[in-house]
Structure 1
Amino acid sequence: MSLVSDRMDPEQALELILSSLDEAKAEDILSIDLRGKSSLADFMIITSGRSHRHVGAVSDRLLKDLKDNGFGNAHVEGLPNCDWVLIDTGDHIIHIFRPEVREFYNIEKMWAADTQDDI
């Protein structure tokens, strides 16, 4: 089941997500196109916040923007600790990390391995 609004296709929604992250001053934003590579989602977005508080603020801003644009309530994990917040809209999986946590898990290396030419 996708939470994407009826009026917005996954690529338009990606633009909304990227814009929201940029406006919240998220850092090192990376978008990975998973279409045809995984049934998990169409896009994975990985970004960082400077601190626990910044990760929380970026997450809150994105959740508000998603809700205001017809996405309803996306599935969220990790918000209480704000080390690594995962937001799942169905077609998009967004990971918001503190820099140290992002470096430790390095998930973009695993998911971007097949798409290095596209990045």
Structure 2
Amino acid sequence: MQTDKLIELVLDALDDMKAKDVVVLDVQGKSTVTDFMVVASGTSKRHVVSCAEHVIEKVKKAGRLPLGMEGAEVGDWILADLGEVVVHVMMPDARSFYDLERLWSFDADLAEDA
């Protein structure tokens, strides 16, 4: 499955579950772990877990095996590793505290010059 199709599938799954404030971050050249991150918020710990589980379910139905999922036991922040796309579903407080959008917004060209 091509990366853009995988992102579309993830966004559809999150939309199905009414995830909040969904953002796609292009981290190509900034991360050696993945090419894209999708960050979304849930309204409760159960909602966070349900959103992440739904993403995993839809990805599996599309014939793609996720590499893993972390954080379901707690529910504040769940990471679903899909390879070139990593999905973060978080409670608003955790999202605000870790501020992944700001963390990954640095310019890779500037970092290389430093």
Q: Normalising by the residue count of structure 1, what TM-score does the alignment of the two structures yield? A: 0.85
CA distance in 1, matches of 2:24, 2:51: 16
SS in 2 for 1:17: helix
Residue among 36, 46, 49 paired with 2:39: 46
Aligned to 2:87: 94
- Counterpart mapping for 1:1-119 below 5 A: 8-114=1-107
Identity over aligned pairs, percent? 36
The 1:50/1:25 distance shift into structure 2, 3 A limit, reads: same
What letter is aligned with 1:50?
T
CA distance in 2, matches of 1:34, 1:46: 12
Q: Normalising by the residue count of structure 2, what TM-score does the alignment of the two structures yield? A: 0.88
Shift of 1:55: 0.4
Q: Structure 1 regions of 5+ residues with no counterpart?
A: 1-7
CA distance in 1, matches of 2:66, 2:25: 23
Count residues in correspondence: 108
Q: Structure 2 regions of 5+ residues with no counterpart?
A: 109-114
Shift of 1:33: 1.0
Aligned to 1:4: none
